[in-house]
């Protein structure tokens, strides 16, 4: 069969970006090639997100547009991957005949077989005409089904999904190599917050063996990566018991997460012969010295031990940046969300993190960020005020604020009517945005005069526009690809070898965005490296400075 060109588009979170990267690597090793132009593709894959309805709507409209496209190109194979495939199940296929295959996020190891199957079916359809196959019934899917939480069978069978991470294709060092990468440490989630679809789509929480994680970090470092972001829904719950490790076909298997009751400050997850999250951070820091920056998302506000904070304090290449979503400032709402902590406990965590980590006097302030859901069912003005108070007290550098979106399959969807009118959600959303904007602005201004080490990510968007380059929506910078971002989002710009200045964009270890100008001839060499920048001005979104 002729080599097939794949167009892969990613929606949603960082976990999806990583999944897409792994899927792309796996398909490339099997001879598929990639295109950033869906019109040129033989196969269109959407890696989807279900966390909010709006993310799903985008995919519905993409699929709608493909319908006409496919009428003219009957050989086109269309696949829906990720959380939407898992959540909508075969309903999605019924509603959208354009879809040939579906693959849930916990089944991505099966994608090559599914794709091969779908491509062959399409090919025989083209060769023999419509009579050859009932294409509708030939459609294929791999979904775990929310009833079977995959890891229940882990001890018995090898976890093939682990093989997908283990087989990660990493390209050797070259000028365009990625300097920043994601590494998964846990999959799935056991928290069952009542609004959240993730435990239903990504399955039970499992923890990857530390050796696999460290080997992956080493492999990435050898390929030129200098910044790694560890990924998990609740990274601070990471724990691997070596005594209980199961080996199948020579491969150490991931382990199921446990549920802990009560709140722990220290060593909540320790035990003899156990690798805790703090141990894991220390090991990566010490065993992979080429990684200049190690960060992690997302942390859960409960069970965050001092041990983790102390490891960050004592290891310079661990970033002083924590993404710790509170979700609401009201105890009553937190309880309905099943978050398992009170706002006093959240405040206590923030105070503890600051007392251990915040060292602005040595140019290393701690930065926090969070998520908030506004308009959760029954939310009163009083609850809303409590969230505003929380925003002021926690003083995060930024907050991702989301209007509550009822998700079929979740407890809240089934049991708690979505009773806050959209106009009220919108007003509260705007109030929180305005308040956070003031807070972000004042935090930014405090950075003026400080010096930061900045990882240079690329030419700024403004500079790109000035030079008439094609800037796609959502692509903040160019020059190097950061993280597992969609290759389609990155454009390239030729920098002349002259003295004219170019504005570059980068980030501090505390995740603040920094712009600074340098001569064009120097700019190229700086991409992907860490340079010292002194901050000269600031607004709520970004800092501006000059190289020190
Ligand atoms: N509605 C709105 N926001 C949600 N999130 C998760 N589920 C929902 C939902 N049903 C938000 C939470 C989470 C972030 C990734 O998305 O704030 O932390
Ligand atoms: Fe969803 Fe809660 Fe798990 Fe986060 S911790 S993924 S919000 S269930």
User: Which segment, 311-325, 453-467, 518-532, is predicted with the most confidence on average?
Assistant: 311-325
Q: Which pLDDT value is given to residue 481? A: 33
Condensed to tens digits (0 to 9), the pLDDT of residues 90-105 reads 889 889 999 999 999 9
The ligand 1 atom nearest the CA atom of 197: 7
- The CA distance from 307 to 20, in Å, is 33
Is any atom of ligand 1 closer than 6 Å to the C-beta of 300?
no
Give the CATH number of the domain where residue 409 resides: 3.30.750.200
DSSP state of 529: S
Clarify whether residues 198 and 260 are in a common domain.
yes
**Which residue's CA is the closest to the ligand 2 atom numbered 2?**
193
Q: How confident is the model at residue 357 (pLDDT cuts 50, 70, 90)?
A: very high
371-418 per-position pLDDT tens digit: 999 999 999 999 999 999 999 999 999 999 999 999 999 999 999 999
Q: Which ligand is nearest to the CA of 189?
A: 2
CB of 195 closer than 6 angstroms to any ligand 1 atom: yes
pLDDT at 43 over 80: yes
Looking at the domain assignment, is residue 360 inside a domain? yes
- Nearest listed ligand to the Cα of residue 232: 2
Distance CA 116, CA 189 (A): 31
- Of 59-68, 161-170, 396-405, which range is least confident? 161-170
Residue 148 has pLDDT above 90, yes or no: no
Q: List the structure tokens of 315.
A: 């290891």
Residue 437 shares a structural domain with residue 458? no
Q: Does ligand 1 have an atom closer than 6 angstroms to the CB of 179?
A: no
State whether the beta carbon of 233 lies less than 6 angstroms from ligand 2: yes
- Asked whether residue 132 falls in the same domain as residue 255, the answer is no
CB of 198 closer than 6 angstroms to any ligand 2 atom: yes
Residue nearest atom 9 of ligand 1, based on CA coordinates: 405
Measured from the alpha carbon of residue 408, the closest ligand is: 1
371 Cα–ligand 1 center, Å: 8
Q: Hey, how many other C-beta atoms are within 10 angstroms of the C-beta on 453?
A: 18
Residue 42 lies in a domain: yes
Verify that 468 and 540 share a domain, yes or no. Answer: yes
98 and 169, same domain (yes or no): no
Mutation to probe ligand 2, out of 189, 298, 338 (largest number of atoms < 8 A from CB)? 189
Give the integer Cα–Cα distance in Å for 241 and 234: 18
pTM (two decimals)? 0.91
Residue 339 falls inside a structural domain: no
On whether the CB atoms of residues 336 and 194 are closer than 8 A, the answer is yes
Nearest-CA residue for ligand 1 atom 18 is 371
φ/ψ (deg, to 5) at 532:
-90, 130
Please provide the average confidence, as pLDDT, over all residues in the chain: 88
Residue 41: helix, strand or coil by DSSP? coil
What CATH number does the domain containing 267 carry? 3.30.750.210
Co-location of 25 and 42 in the same domain: yes
Asked whether the predicted pLDDT for residue 486 surpasses 60, the reply is: no
Q: For residue 143, give the nearest of 195, 194, 89 by alpha carbon.
A: 89
Among the atoms of ligand 2, which is closest to the Cα of residue 51? 1
Q: What is the CATH number of the domain that holds 130?
A: 3.40.50.12160
> 84: Cβ below 6 Å to ligand 2?
no
432 Cβ inside 6 Å of ligand 1: no
Ligand 2 atom 5: residue of nearest CA: 191
Query: Average pLDDT of 116-144?
Result: 74
In a domain, 526, yes or no: yes
Backbone φ and ψ for 205, nearest 5 degrees, come out as: -70, 130
Q: Are residue 512 and residue 461 in the same domain, yes or no?
A: yes
Residue 98 pLDDT: 93
What would you report as the CA-atom Rg of the chain, rounded to the nearest whole angstrom? 24
In the listed set 319, 339, 372, which residue is the last one of a domain according to the structure? 319
Q: Is 69 in the pocket of ligand 1 (CB under 6 A)?
A: no
Domain hosting residue 313, numbered range: 147-319
pLDDT at residue 184, as a whole number: 97
167 token code pair: 């087989």
277 CB near ligand 1 (under 6 Å): no
pLDDT of residue 126: 77
Proportion of the chain above pLDDT 90, given as a percent: 70
Is a pLDDT exceeding 50 seen at residue 151? no
Q: How many CA atoms lie within 13 A of 297 on its CB side?
A: 17
CA-closest candidate to residue 308, choices 257, 268, 368? 268
Q: Give the distance (Å) from ligand 1 centre to CA of residue 119.
A: 36
The DSSP letter of residue 318 is B
Query: What does the CA dihedral 346, 351, 354, 357 come to, rounded to 10 degrees?
Result: -80
Averaged pLDDT, 9-34 = 94
Cβ proximity of 210 and 162 under 8 Å: no
d(CA 271, CA 415): 39
pLDDT at 473: 43
Instruction: Give domain status of residue 325, yes or no.
Output: no
Closest ligand relative to 299 C-alpha: 2
State the pLDDT at residue 258.
74
Which of 446, 465, 492 finishes a domain?
446
Helix and strand numbers (H, E) in the chain are 17, 25
> 496 and 377 in one domain?
no
What distance in angstroms lies between residue 492's CA and the mean position of ligand 1's atoms? 34
What is the position in ligand 1's atom list of the atom closest to the CA of 371?
A: 17
342 domain-assigned:
no
* Least distant ligand from the CA of 190: 2
DSSP E strand boundaries for 140-287: 140-142, 180-184, 186-187, 206-207, 227-231, 239-241, 247-248, 251-252, 255-256, 274-276
Q: What is the pLDDT of residue 377?
A: 98
Of the listed ligands, the closest to the CA of 416 is 1
Is the distance from CB of 476 to CB of 504 less than 8 angstroms? Answer: no
Q: How far is CA 246 from CA 157, 211, 272, in A?
A: 10, 14, 17
Ligand nearest to the CA of 50: 1
Q: Which residues contact 414 (CB under 8 A, 6 or more apart)?
A: none
More confident residue, 83 or 496: 83
Pocket lining: 192 vs ligand 2, CB cutoff 6 Å? yes
- Short-list 300, 216, 208, 196, CA closest to 256: 208
Q: CB of 546 within 8 A of CB of 518?
A: no
Task: Assess whether 276 and 405 both reside in one domain.
Answer: no
Q: What are the residues whose beta carbons fall under 8 Å from the beta carbon of 21, sequence distance 6 or more?
A: 168, 182, 484
Question: How many structural domains comprise the chain?
Answer: 4
Confidence of residue 267 (pLDDT cuts 50, 70, 90): low
Q: Is residue 507 pLDDT above 50, yes or no?
A: yes
Worst-scoring range by mean pLDDT, 21-35, 76-90, 192-206, 252-266?
252-266
Given a contact cutoff of 8 angstroms between Cβ atoms, the answer to whether 72 and 65 are in contact is no
Is the pLDDT score of 479 beyond 50?
no
Q: Is 201 in the pocket of ligand 2 (CB under 6 A)?
A: no
Q: Over range 4-26, report the average pLDDT.
A: 95
Least Cα distance to 225 among 293, 318, 285 occurs for: 293
Residues 418 and 459 in one domain: no
Question: In this structure, are residues 419 and 98 in contact, taking their beta carbons and an 8 Å threshold?
Answer: no
b/e per residue, 254-273, with b = 16+ CB within 10 A? Answer: bbbbeeeeebbeeebbeeee
Q: How far apart are the two ends of the chain, measured CA to CA in Å? A: 56
For residue 207, the CA-to-ligand 1 centroid distance in Å is 23
- Out of 145, 176, 206, pick the residue that ends a domain: 145
Average pLDDT rounded to a whole number, residues 239-261 = 85
User: How many CA atoms within 13 Å lie on the side-chain side of 74?
Assistant: 11
Higher pLDDT, 484 or 514: 514
Q: What would the mean pLDDT of 16-36 be, rounded to a whole number?
A: 94
User: What is the predicted pLDDT for the residue at 364?
Assistant: 83
Same domain, 139 and 188: no
Query: Does 327 map to a domain?
Result: no
Tell which one of 50, 196, 373 to mutate to probe ligand 2, the residue whose CB is within 8 A of the most ligand atoms: 196
- In this structure, which residue's CA is closest to atom 1 in ligand 2? 196
> Do both 18 and 35 map to the same domain?
yes
Q: Which of 146, 187, 198 to mutate to test the pocket of ligand 2 (most atoms within 8 A of CB)?
A: 198
Atom from ligand 1 closest to the CA of residue 410: 10
């Amino acid at each position: 069969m002729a080599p097939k060109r794949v167009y892969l588009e990613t929606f949603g979170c960082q976990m999806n970006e990583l999944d897409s990267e792994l899927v792309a690597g796996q398909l490339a090793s099997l001879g598929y090639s990639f295109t950033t132009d869906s019109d040129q593709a033989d196969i269109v894959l959407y890696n989807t997100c279900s966390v909010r309805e709006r993310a799903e709507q985008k995919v519905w409209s993409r699929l709608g547009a493909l319908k006409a496209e496919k009428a003219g190109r009957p050989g086109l194979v269309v696949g829906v991957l990720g959380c939407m495939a898992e959540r909508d199940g075969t309903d999605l296929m019924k509603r959208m005949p354009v879809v040939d295959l579906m693959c849930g996020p916990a089944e991505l190891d099966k994608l090559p077989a599914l794709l091969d199957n779908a491509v062959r079916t399409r090919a025989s359809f083209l060769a023999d005409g419509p009579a050859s196959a009932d294409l509708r019934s030939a459609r294929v899917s791999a979904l775990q089904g929310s009833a079977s939480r995959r890891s229940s069978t882990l001890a018995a069978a090898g976890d093939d999904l682990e093989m997908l991470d283990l087989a990660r294709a990493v390209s050797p060092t070259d000028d365009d190599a990625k300097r920043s990468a994601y590494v998964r440490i846990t999959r799935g989630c056991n928290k069952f917050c009542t609004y959240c679809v993730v435990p239903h789509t990504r399955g039970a929480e499992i923890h990857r063996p530390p050796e696999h994680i460290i080997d992956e970090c080493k492999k990435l470092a050898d390929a030129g990566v200098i910044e790694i972001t560890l990924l998990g829904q609740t990274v601070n719950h990471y724990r691997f018991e070596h005594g209980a490790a199961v080996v199948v076909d020579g491969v150490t298997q991931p382990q199921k997460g446990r549920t802990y009751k009560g709140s722990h400050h220290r060593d909540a997850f320790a035990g003899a012969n156990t690798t805790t999250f703090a141990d894991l951070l220390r090991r990566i820091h010490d065993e992979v010295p080429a990684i200049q920056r190690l960060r992690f998302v997302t942390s859960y506000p409960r069970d965050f031990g001092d041990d983790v904070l102390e490891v960050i304090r004592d290891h310079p290449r661990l970033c002083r940046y924590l993404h710790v979503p509170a979700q609401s400032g009201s105890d009553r709402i937190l309880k309905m969300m099943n978050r398992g902590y009170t706002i006093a406990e959240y405040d206590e965590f923030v105070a503890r993190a600051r007392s251990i980590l915040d060292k602005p006097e040595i140019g290393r302030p701690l930065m926090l960020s969070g998520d908030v859901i506004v308009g959760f069912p029954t939310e009163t003005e009083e609850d809303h005020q409590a969230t505003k108070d929380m925003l002021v007290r926690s003083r995060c550098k930024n907050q991702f604020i989301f209007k509550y979106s009822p998700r079929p399959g979740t407890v809240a969807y089934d049991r708690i009517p979505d009773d806050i009118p959209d106009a009220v959600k919108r007003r509260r959303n705007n109030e929180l945005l305005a308040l956070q904007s003031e807070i972000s602005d004042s935090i930014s201004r405090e950075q003026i005069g400080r010096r930061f080490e900045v990882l240079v990510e690329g030419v700024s968007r403004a500079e790109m526009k000035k030079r008439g380059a094609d800037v796609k929506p959502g692509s903040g910078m160019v020059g190097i690809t950061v993280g597992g971002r969609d290759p389609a989002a990155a454009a390239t710009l030729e920098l002349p070898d002259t003295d004219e200045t170019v504005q570059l964009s980068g980030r501090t270890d505390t995740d603040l965005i920094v712009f600074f100008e340098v001569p064009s001839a120097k700019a190229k060499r700086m991409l992907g490296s860490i340079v010292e920048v002194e901050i000269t001005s600031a607004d709520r979104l970004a800092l501006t400075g000059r190289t020190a």
